[in-house]
Amino acid sequence: MTADLDRVAEVLAGASRVSVLTGSGISAESGVPTFRTEDGLWENYRLEDVATPEAVARNPRGVWEFYEMRRANMQAVQPNAGHFALAELAPMFESFTLATQNIDGLHQRAGSADVLEVHGSLWRAHCDHCGRVVDPFPFPAPEIPPPCGCGEVLRPSVVLFGEALPHDVFAAATAAASECDVAFSIGTSSVVWPAAGLPVLAGERGAFVIEINPAATELTPAFDVSLRGPAGTVLPDLVRRVRRVREGTA
């Protein structure tokens, strides 16, 4: 993999516009359970009961209890070296856009700014009735379910199954993918669409696309380079190599 890392470092060192998509794999390295492993998040829950618009309407208390549990679990989780490496990469480029499928806020805690959270955030709440947004939403929630001033209840600002992605956020991520020189797909299963298609779009528009993942995905053939390994190992190494290339010491 050393040759591939060197190749990617050379490409990155000459890039000006970078677009990144991260998925659950990068947070799994911090101990956040994923959806698609045998010990994943849905092992003990039915998504119909806690993660659909119908569940919010039918049983808002149950939905909030589930997401409060998730927020409580996040209190013991810390960003890992992959999160910090992305924050370190950002100022090296004229434009650096970080979009994530994760709702945990770990990128922001590692120092990344202006993160495009295409699936929402555990740390916001909003009202579907009047449009009110509470950001950040306090933890623990002051009341479950939390009331809105309009007389309805607030809901977690996460994209539930069957819902569309937030239009403005996904439009910004799409624009960045369309205009970048280099794109990354990091820790994604490449099966959660439409977000999974962002690196593919970048490649179609002429970008050099890099996958960082422990295992191949169904989209691996669409990428220029696949770096096998956890993001927390690969990304810090890559940052060091990019710095060496730019300093002329590679």
User: Is 119 a catalytic site residue?
Assistant: yes
Please give the model's pTM, rounded to 2 decimal places. Answer: 0.94
Please check whether residues 233 and 189 belong to one and the same domain. Answer: yes
| Mean of pLDDT values over 218-240 | 96
Predicted pLDDT at 42: 56
Last residue of a domain, one of 129, 158, 187: 158
- Residue 69: which residues within 8 A CB-CB, separation 6 or more? none
Predicted pLDDT at 67: 95
How many domains would you assign to the chain? 2
Please check whether residues 188 and 83 belong to one and the same domain. Answer: yes
Given the DSSP bridges, would you call strands 120-126 and 17-22 parallel, antiparallel or unpaired?
unpaired
Residue 37 has pLDDT above 70, yes or no: no
Residue 3 has pLDDT above 70, yes or no: yes
Please check whether residues 127 and 99 belong to one and the same domain. Answer: no
pLDDT band for position 226 (50/70/90)? Answer: very high
Predicted pLDDT at 248: 83
Q: Which residues of 147-168 are buried (b: 16+ CB within 10 A; e: fewer)?
A: ebeeeebbbbbbbbeeeebbee
Q: Take residue 156 and report the two structure tokens written for it.
A: 């977690």
d(CA 224, CA 95): 21
Please check whether residues 69 and 84 belong to one and the same domain. Answer: no
Please check whether residues 72 and 175 belong to one and the same domain. Answer: no
Predicted pLDDT at 38: 46
Q: Take residue 185 and report the two structure tokens written for it.
A: 């797909």
Residue 34 has pLDDT above 80, yes or no: no
Among candidate residues 107, 119, 126, 129, the one labeled active-site is: 119
- Residue 133: which residues within 8 A CB-CB, separation 6 or more? 124, 125, 126, 157
Crossing angle between the packed helical segments 231-247 and 2-13, to the nearest 10 degrees = 50
Task: Tell me what percent of the residues of the chain surpass a pLDDT of 70.
Answer: 95
Domain that holds residue 127: 33-76+121-158
61-104 per-position pLDDT tens digit: 999 999 999 999 998 899 999 999 999 999 999 999 999 999 99
